[in-house]
């Protein structure tokens, strides 16, 4: 797809790039990030089965114990194996954010392309709406809605999805508007192609790198948001393993086995950082805006 | 002219608060737990008790009448009294108490942001590509990816549990104790906020330093200090002020997690308690206060950019 962009993607070792520019970031870091992301995806799909223990099994001889006794990261207050909880908790922690990022990109991109293409009143209205959403303290909104309705995981996913729309909308709107002025779009228009076809068949492939980068960044936001809700007891259903709730459970046992809290926390940061680095790299490498940064 | 602009914005803010409170009220009526259950608590639900509670809290009135009554009281500055969080206490009193603590925390954190975060971001932007810039940028990227609650737990573990430098929960009495109790939460909050601010400041500084007028100022042989202060800082401050609004609003979200981790009875904890206990008056009051805070923050940011940038002043005059 990238070969269709107006300027060809530039080489990593571009001598003209100033020292320390983002494009000179060693690809090693990107490779590591990719590996981390792949490992997390494996956990999401088969984590429950490859975990060393049944995550809900309570080893009552070893409750709230530090690492050892066959438990690599120790056990929580109920004697459940922390490593097993982490591995099977990846599912709850990641599936919701995936849905959120997919939905936000699907709807946000469509709205963004329409606003960028048609302009005018539609554009103004959508932009005002995005401004309004931006001014909201998002997590507080989610806490109020989810907490009051007592709706649980999927309601939280829906509300977070709606709150993530403006980011995808704004990112696509500006690039779509820029593409709409280019000669190939004019050519398509001269041929008398319908607007829908021009938008989805001609413009969309050209802005795909931006869309993918937005997807990754939305995912990170959703991952942090949803885990945060679980941390507050409003996300993942009680009794199912989840990183956010594990973090919260472990806070009271920081003195006996800090890993209950620290391990899911570090895993969250690791996942978020890796995906952010991948998204940043993709944006810098494959989009016009990024190439000039 | 500026006064008209401000009045218009405040008017719009009041309308927004009205809409917000109505939405929250509707949301609360969808809630599965009824206020009656919360009021009953562990008492046996005798018909007489239910009747008396219904009459006292007007629970049998239609939805719109209840909202109207609440609104009428709010205009008279009466937010009602709490049902289940602190049964019987006036919501205004609870809010005042909780808000004071959150404000102390926020001020402490802002002080750290302005004295540490902001200068670091500017230095990174000026010395682009040098070692300092790389270190600061990497740190900011990592801090941006670390959610507030993870950072809070990690800091709590290192400095509270392992090193025992700071207390791990509570608020403390007296000034010095309060400061030591609030240090870890404030550092956490400041790190979360600085991460975004550093990136913005760095970008703004980088942009300004590459402008022609800076190059010309250099060519004319002006002192670096004069270039930095008179030319660069003022022009770089506008995007920074704009991002300051977003940062202050995100402060409200972060404080929810940080108060939770450090067991601080602030406004965030209050919201969470009220929401999970379906304490209608407290939820309404807290949302109202937080909404007003968001509106005031945005207004303050707009006014600040009016002060800094004459171009914005011109647009505002034409628009008003």
Q: Which chain B residue is nearest to residue A273, measuring alpha carbons?
A: B145
Same domain? B213 vs B257: yes
Same domain? B42 vs B158: no
Report pLDDT for B86.
74
Name which of A235-249, A254-268, A279-293 the model is least confident about.
A279-293
Report pLDDT for B37.
67
pLDDT in 10s for each residue of chain B, 320 residues: 677 878 888 888 888 888 888 888 888 777 666 666 666 666 666 777 777 777 766 666 777 777 887 788 777 777 777 777 777 778 888 888 888 889 989 999 989 988 888 888 888 888 877 888 888 888 887 787 788 888 888 888 888 888 878 777 777 777 777 778 888 899 999 988 888 888 888 888 888 888 888 888 889 888 888 888 888 888 888 888 878 888 888 888 888 899 988 888 889 889 888 888 877 788 888 888 888 888 888 888 888 888 877 777 777 666 54
Q: Is residue A167 part of a domain?
A: yes
Same domain? B50 vs B116: no
Report pLDDT for A288.
66
Same domain? B254 vs B165: yes
Tens digit of each residue's pLDDT (9 = 90 or more) over A121-168: 888 898 888 888 877 777 788 888 888 887 788 888 999 999 889 888
Assess contact for B138 and A22: CB atoms under 8 A: no
Among A135, A148, A232, select the one facing B260 at the smallest CB separation. A232
Q: Which two tokens stand for residue A251?
A: 């806070």
Q: Which chain A residue is nearest to residue B134, measuring alpha carbons?
A: A20
Q: Which two tokens stand for residue B9?
A: 């914005």
The H or E element containing residue A121 is helix A120-134
Q: Is residue B71 part of a domain?
A: yes
Q: Which chain B residue is nearest to residue A256, measuring alpha carbons?
A: B161
Q: Which two tokens stand for residue A14?
A: 């571009």
Burial of B272: CB neighbours in 10 Å, binned 0-12, 13-18, 19+: buried
Among A19, A137, A149, select the one facing B252 at the smallest CB separation. A137
Short-list A140, A127, A146, A138, CA closest to A218: A138
Same domain? B214 vs B289: yes
Write out the residue range of the structural domain in which residue B29 sits.
Answer: 2-75
Same domain? B59 vs B180: no
Assess contact for B301 and B244: CB atoms under 8 A: yes
Average pLDDT over residues A39-64: 78
Interface contact A2, partner B, CB < 8 A: no
| CATH code for position B252 | 1.10.3720.10
User: Distance, in angstroms, between A254 CA and closest chain B CA?
Assistant: 7
Q: Is residue B161 part of a domain?
A: yes
Number of domains chain A contains: 1
Report pLDDT for A251.
83
Per-position b or e across A34-44, b if 16+ CB within 10 A of its CB:
bebbeebeebb
Q: Is residue A288 part of a domain?
A: yes
Above 70 in pLDDT, residue A15?
no
Tell me the Cα Rg of chain A.
Answer: 22
B145 vs A247: CB contact, 8 Å cut-off? Answer: no
Among B28, B129, B272, select the one facing A232 at the smallest CB separation. B272
Name which of A54-68, A115-129, A273-287 the model is least confident about.
A54-68
Name which of A81-85, A114-118, A285-289, B253-257 the model is least confident about.
A285-289
Same domain? B226 vs B306: yes
Contacts A276 to B, Cβ<8 Å: 141, 144-145
Report pLDDT for A5.
39
Write out the residue range of the structural domain in which residue A264 sits.
Answer: 36-50+72-292
Number of domains chain B contains: 2
% of chain A residues with pLDDT over 90:
7
Query: For residues A200 and B198, what is the distance between their CA atoms, to the nearest angstrom?
Result: 37
Contacts B294 to A, Cβ<8 Å: 135-137
| CATH code for position A247 | 1.10.3720.10
Q: Which chain A residue is nearest to residue B155, measuring alpha carbons?
A: A262
Question: What is the ipTM metric for this complex?
Answer: 0.78
Query: For residues B200 and B214, what is the distance between their CA atoms, to the nearest angstrom?
Result: 20
Q: What is the pTM of this model?
A: 0.81
Query: For residues A58 and A76, what is the distance between their CA atoms, to the nearest angstrom?
Result: 9
Q: Is residue A56 part of a domain?
A: no
Contacts B31 to A, Cβ<8 Å: 148-150
- Name which residue leads in pLDDT, A13 or B8: B8
Contacts A40 to B, Cβ<8 Å: none
A228 vs B32: CB contact, 8 Å cut-off? Answer: no
Report pLDDT for B35.
64
Average pLDDT over residues A11-31: 55
Same domain? B125 vs B15: no
Contacts A254 to B, Cβ<8 Å: 153, 156-157, 161, 168
Confidence of residue A20 (pLDDT cuts 50, 70, 90): very low
Same domain? B67 vs B125: no
Above 70 in pLDDT, residue A252?
yes
Report pLDDT for A68.
73
Name which of A9-18, A66-75, B122-131, B290-299 the model is least confident about.
A9-18
Same domain? B66 vs B113: no
User: Distance, in angstroms, between B49 CA and closest chain A CA?
Assistant: 25
Interface contact A238, partner B, CB < 8 A: no
Assess contact for A147 and A233: CB atoms under 8 A: no
Q: Is residue B278 part of a domain?
A: yes
Query: For residues A43 and A271, what is the distance between their CA atoms, to the nearest angstrom?
Result: 12
Interface contact A254, partner B, CB < 8 A: yes
A138 vs B253: CB contact, 8 Å cut-off? Answer: yes
Report pLDDT for A103.
94
Place of tokens 């975990």: A51
């Amino acid at each position: 797809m990238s070969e269709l962009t107006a300027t060809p993607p530039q080489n990593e070792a571009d001598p003209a790039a100033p020292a320390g520019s983002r494009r000179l970031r060693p690809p090693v870091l990107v490779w590591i990030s990719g590996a981390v992301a792949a490992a997390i995806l494996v956990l999401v799909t088969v984590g429950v089965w490859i975990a060393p223990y049944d995550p809900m099994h309570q080893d009552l001889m070893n409750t709230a114990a530090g690492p050892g006794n066959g438990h690599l990261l120790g056990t929580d207050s109920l004697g459940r194996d922390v490593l097993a909880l982490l591995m099977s908790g990846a599912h709850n922690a990641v599936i919701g954010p995936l849905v959120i990022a997919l939905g936000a990109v699907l709807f946000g991109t469509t709205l963004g392309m329409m606003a960028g293409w048609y302009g005018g009143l539609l554009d103004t209205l959508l932009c005002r709406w995005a401004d309004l959403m931006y001014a909201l303290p998002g997590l507080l909104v989610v806490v109020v809605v989810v907490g009051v309705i007592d709706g649980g995981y999927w309601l939280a996913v829906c509300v977070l999805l709606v709150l993530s729309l403006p980011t995808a909308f704004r990112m696509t709107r500006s690039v779509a508007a820029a593409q709409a002025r280019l000669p190939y779009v004019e050519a398509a228009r001269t041929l008398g192609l319908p607007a829908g076809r021009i938008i989805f068949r001609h413009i969309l492939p050209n802005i795909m790198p931006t869309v993918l980068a937005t997807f990754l960044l939305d995912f990170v936001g959703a991952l942090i948001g949803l885990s945060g809700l679980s941390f507050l007891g409003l996300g993942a259903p009680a009794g199912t393993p989840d990183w956010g709730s594990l973090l919260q459970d472990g806070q009271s046992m920081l003195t006996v086995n800090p890993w209950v809290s620290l391990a899911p926390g570090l895993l969250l940061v690791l996942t978020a950082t890796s995906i952010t680095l991948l998204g940043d790299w993709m944006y810098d490498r494959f989009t016009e805006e990024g190439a000039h940064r | 002219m500026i006064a008209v602009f401000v009045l218009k914005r405040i008017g719009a803010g009041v309308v927004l608060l009205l809409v917000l409170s109505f939405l929250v009220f509707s949301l609360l009526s969808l809630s599965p737990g009824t206020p009656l259950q919360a009021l009953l608590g562990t008492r046996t639900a005798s018909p007489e008790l239910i009747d008396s509670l219904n009459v006292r809290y007007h629970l049998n009135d239609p939805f719109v009448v209840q909202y109207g009554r609440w609104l009428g009281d709010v205009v008279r500055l009466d937010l009602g009294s709490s049902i289940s969080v602190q049964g019987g206490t006036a919501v205004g009193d609870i809010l005042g108490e909780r808000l004071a603590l959150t404000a102390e925390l926020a001020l402490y954190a802002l002080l750290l942001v302005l004295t540490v975060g902001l200068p670091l971001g500017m230095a990174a932007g000026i010395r682009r590509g040098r070692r300092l810039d790389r270190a600061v940028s990497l740190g900011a990227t990592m801090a941006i990816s670390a959610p507030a609650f993870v950072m809070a737990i990690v800091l709590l573990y290192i400095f509270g549990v392992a090193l025992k430098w700071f207390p791990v929960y509570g608020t403390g009495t007296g000034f010095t104790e309060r400061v030591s109790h609030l240090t870890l939460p404030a550092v956490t909050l400041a790190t979360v906020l600085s991460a975004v601010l550093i990136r913005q400041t760095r970008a703004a500084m980088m942009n300004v330093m590459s402008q022609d007028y800076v190059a010309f100022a250099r060519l004319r042989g002006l002192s670096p200090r004069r270039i930095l202060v008179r030319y660069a800082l003022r022009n770089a401050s506008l995007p920074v002020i704009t991002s300051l609004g977003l940062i202050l609003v995100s402060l409200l979200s972060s404080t929810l997690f940080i108060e939770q981790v450090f067991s601080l009875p602030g406004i965030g904890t209050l919201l969470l308690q009220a929401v999970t206990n379906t304490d209608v008056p407290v939820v309404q009051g807290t949302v109202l206060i937080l909404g007003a805070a968001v509106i005031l923050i945005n207004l303050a940011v707009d006014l600040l950019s009016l002060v800094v940038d004459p171009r914005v002043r011109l647009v505002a005059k034409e628009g008003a």
